Amino acid sequence: MTGYAVTKCETATGTVTLELKSVNSRFLDLQFRVNDDLRAIEPAMRETITGKLARGKVECRLSFCRRIAEGAGQALNQTLLTTLAGLQAQVRRQFTDAAPLSVNELLRWPGVIEEAEIGQDSLQADVLATLQQTLSTFIDSRAREGAALQTMLETRIDVMEVIVARITPLVPQLVAQFQQKATERMQETLGLATGDGAMPVLPREEVLERIRQEVTLYGMRIDIAEELARLSAHLTETRHILKKGGQVGRRLDFMMQELNREANTVGSKAAIKELADAAMELKLLIDQMREQVQNLE
């Protein structure tokens, strides 16, 4: 599912900024954008996120802006200053015209100003607290999207149930009509309905048994009552999964497979245009649902 949240938290040692954003994915794929000095916190962050999320390609960006307290936690690196002074003296002995280092240049020299180190435990606690706050906002945003997707899916289920209810009464009538037509055609073909009183080509008992077998097989081939019953059951289960909530993505993936299987069978058995059109409608609706189900956790 898609989602976005960003939190900026002021702490005693600086400002922690944490951003979470995700796009659709069938599995959980975590990517971190963290400075090297904060890499030690990444495992704890990963554990926290995986405990809350199950699907989505999630990107986590973490930055920390250190606050320098006025008059506290700073000191000059005397050892480095002594080393710089010695090196400067050596250079100026060889290059007498060289200008000496200014105070500004010395203060900006890397490592000249020493700052008190921030405890890693304290920093990790601040980052994890910020992460919890960000996750809460992030999950809320995904929940709002999930509610909209649930409404869309339930609407598709309603339409599919109407289609199934519309074509179900056609099945017994269709089977009876086709069996009657098949019986008449086969009687004529096999010599039981010559119309001129002529004797049938084959013995009557054998012809009747042959007709009965063929008509029964044909009736079984075009009978979709079981498929429609299973479609109705799958739609009911899909609606139940959506209402129950929780991590429904993988269960709905399975239900989409089962719905598509039954719709394909209905289409392959369709003996009249109404059934073929209904099967196509069902497949289109299932495809729309399956595409959106990939977004659900």
The answer to whether residues 267 and 196 belong to one domain is yes
CA-CA distance, 116 to 188, in Å (whole number)? 104
Helix (H, G, I), strand (E, B) or coil at 25: coil
In CATH, what number is assigned to the domain containing residue 26?
Answer: 3.30.230
Q: Which helix (H) or strand (E) holds 45?
A: helix 42-50
Q: What is the pLDDT of residue 78?
A: 85
Give the pair of three-digit tokens for residue 283: 């497949």
The total domain count for the chain is 3
Q: What is the pLDDT of residue 19?
A: 94
The answer to whether residues 140 and 32 belong to one domain is yes
The answer to whether residues 128 and 160 belong to one domain is no
The answer to whether residues 49 and 165 belong to one domain is no
Q: What is the pLDDT of residue 134?
A: 93
Contact 153, 242 (CB under 8 A): yes
| Cα separations in angstroms, 233 against 228, 230, 236 | 9, 5, 5
pTM over 0.85: no
The answer to whether residues 190 and 232 belong to one domain is yes
Helix (H, G, I), strand (E, B) or coil at 14: strand
Neighbours of 286 (CB within 10 A): 25
CA-CA distance, 92 to 89, in Å (whole number)? 5
CA-CA distance, 124 to 131, in Å (whole number)? 10
Question: DSSP string spanning 202-241?
Answer: S-HHHHHHHHHHHHHHHHHHH--HHHHHHHHHHHHHHHHH
Give the pair of three-digit tokens for residue 218: 């044909």
CA-CA distance, 153 to 253, in Å (whole number)? 13
Q: What is the pLDDT of residue 194?
A: 46
Write the pLDDT tens digit of every residue in 74-90. Answer: 677 888 889 989 999 99
Write the pLDDT tens digit of every residue in 238-259. Answer: 999 888 877 787 888 899 999 9
The answer to whether residues 152 and 289 belong to one domain is yes
Contact 38, 125 (CB under 8 A): no
The answer to whether residues 137 and 153 belong to one domain is no
Question: DSSP string spanning 75-99?
Answer: EE-HHHHHHHHHHHHHHHHH-TTPP
Q: What is the pLDDT of residue 146?
A: 82
The answer to whether residues 275 and 287 belong to one domain is yes
The answer to whether residues 198 and 257 belong to one domain is yes
Q: What is the pLDDT of residue 176?
A: 65
The answer to whether residues 177 and 289 belong to one domain is yes
The answer to whether residues 173 and 278 belong to one domain is yes
The answer to whether residues 82 and 205 belong to one domain is no
265: closest CA among 214, 228, 237? 228
Terminal CA-CA length for the chain: 7
Listed in sequence order, the residues at least 6 apart from 192 whose beta carbon sits closer than 8 Å to its beta carbon are: 200, 204, 207, 208, 211
pLDDT tens, the chain, 297 aa long: 678 899 998 887 788 899 999 887 778 889 999 887 788 889 999 999 999 888 788 999 998 887 655 544 567 788 888 998 999 999 888 888 888 988 888 888 877 766 545 567 788 888 899 999 999 999 888 888 888 888 999 999 999 999 999 888 877 776 666 666 666 666 666 555 544 555 455 566 665 666 666 655 555 555 677 888 899 999 999 999 888 877 787 888 899 999 999 999 888 777 678 888 989 999 999 999 988 887 676
Q: Residue holding tokens 């921030």?
A: 118
Q: Domain limits at 173? A: 148-293
Instruction: Kindly list the strands in the beta sheet with 28-34, ordered across the sheet, starting from the edge strand earlier in the chain.
Output: 3-10, 14-23, 56-66, 28-34
